[in-house]
Amino acid sequence: MTMKNLKLTMVAVLIAVTQLTAQTAQKISSNNNLKKMNTTEQSEHYTFKLSDKVTRQKVSFKNRYGITLSGDLYLPKNHGNEKLAALAVSGPFGAVKQQSSGLYANIMAERGFAVIAFDPSYTGESGGEPRNVASPDINTEDFSAAVDYLGLQPFIDRNKIGIIGICGFGGMALNAVAVDKRVKAVATTSMYDMTRVMSKGYNDSMTIEQRTQMLEKIGQQRWEDAEKGAPADGPRNLPEKLKGDEPQFVVDYFNYYRTPRGFHPNSVNSNGAWLVTNPLSFMNMPLLSYIKEISPRPILLIAGANAHSRYFSEDIYKMAAEPKELMIIPDAVHVDLYDKIDVIPFDKLELFFKQSLK
């Protein structure tokens, strides 16, 4: 397995890169000011406009590993004295709450829910060292910690809490709901099973020889990290110059994360890199082993018809027990469900959670 193929196999995590056209290069130049933001400016920069029907406040809470997570709590204005149904939202994998998850929270709060969008451990404004690392266990726990926070608020009905997971945090969301019986319903959009794609490659194409080679390389990296006393960053997830032979879905990632449409300086995918050793815990700790135990609580899986990730949602739909629903959005690609409000089926999400969180 060549180094180039190895990087493409790990593209979901070290999102390997896309082609810069002249138009895109021009857009990137406008990102230079974002990169120079100070900490306060970064915190206040959002890729969407806050609804005039919604309030947003910064909150923090700890997970059971003692990591302090940073979130934004969105509430419908003038919600009165009645306790609200609530949602916790996170994702995509490598994004921050000022991007897609915040947009979802903003719109679902417009529709009457209390919603928290949060940065996962080790990323964004959340705590944890070293930075830019992920864990199937800890990131699953992050969702349950958000449920803890929501359930302690006096204006929230703790018996009416659901979860939305986007992209790689769709898999984490399903995993959390399987074990956390407090959650009454779960929806995912453009869902990824990060343990599956990292350990087996796209469409399970990785051979045992390729997997062994990858693990051997990561093992050697651990020696280097131990000698230096610090973990090494991998290649930037989306560099500014490419060879031009990247797959279309990587081009789609670029058009979200590396242009003003979705760029945020705190986002690993916009402006950084995962650690080289990041895949280790994903290689032999599969998510979703207990997917059937979500039942009898309902599952809604939403995927684009043209999304490279569609097969993850379809396979989970086959594995899960009833009640479950698979919704395929015509003509949509993976990243369309990040921020295109005319494509994301918010009416369906609203109906699903209002029916499920009675």
Q: Residue 144's pLDDT is what?
A: 98
As a three-state string, the secondary structure of 54-76 is EEEEEEEEECCCCCEEEEEEEEE
Q: Residue 41's pLDDT is what?
A: 77
- Which residue, 154, 66, 49, 155, is CA-closest to 107? 49
Q: Write out residues in the chain with pLDDT < 70, as ranges.
A: 1-36, 239, 241-242
| DSSP designation for 169 | H
Q: Residue 316's pLDDT is what?
A: 98
pLDDT in tens, 103-146: 999 999 999 999 999 999 999 999 999 999 999 999 999 999 99
Give me the amino acid identity at 318. Answer: K
Q: Residue 237's pLDDT is what?
A: 83
Q: Residue 19's pLDDT is what?
A: 30
List, in order of start, the domains of the chain with CATH numbers: 3-356 (3.40.50.1820)
The answer to whether the beta carbons of residues 8 and 1 sit under 8 Å apart is no
pTM: 0.90
Give me the amino acid identity at 65. Answer: Y
pLDDT in tens, 26-58: 333 334 444 557 777 787 899 999 999 999 999
- Which residue, 326, 332, 268, 300, is CA-closest to 123? 268
Q: How far apart are CA 310 and CA 46, in angstroms?
A: 28
Q: Please give the structure tokens belonging to residue 61.
A: 């809470």
Other Cβ atoms closer than 10 A to 353 = 28
Q: How far apart are CA 127 and CA 204, in angstroms?
A: 33
Q: How far apart are CA 111 and CA 41, in angstroms?
A: 28
| DSSP designation for 224 | H
Q: Residue 149's pLDDT is what?
A: 98
Q: How far apart are CA 172 and CA 182, in angstroms?
A: 16
Q: Which uninterrupted H or E stretch holds 336?
A: helix 336-339
Q: Residue 244's pLDDT is what?
A: 79
Q: How far apart are CA 235 and CA 278, in angstroms?
A: 12
Q: Residue 349's pLDDT is what?
A: 99
Q: Please give the structure tokens belonging to residue 317.
A: 């739909």
Q: Residue 3's pLDDT is what?
A: 39
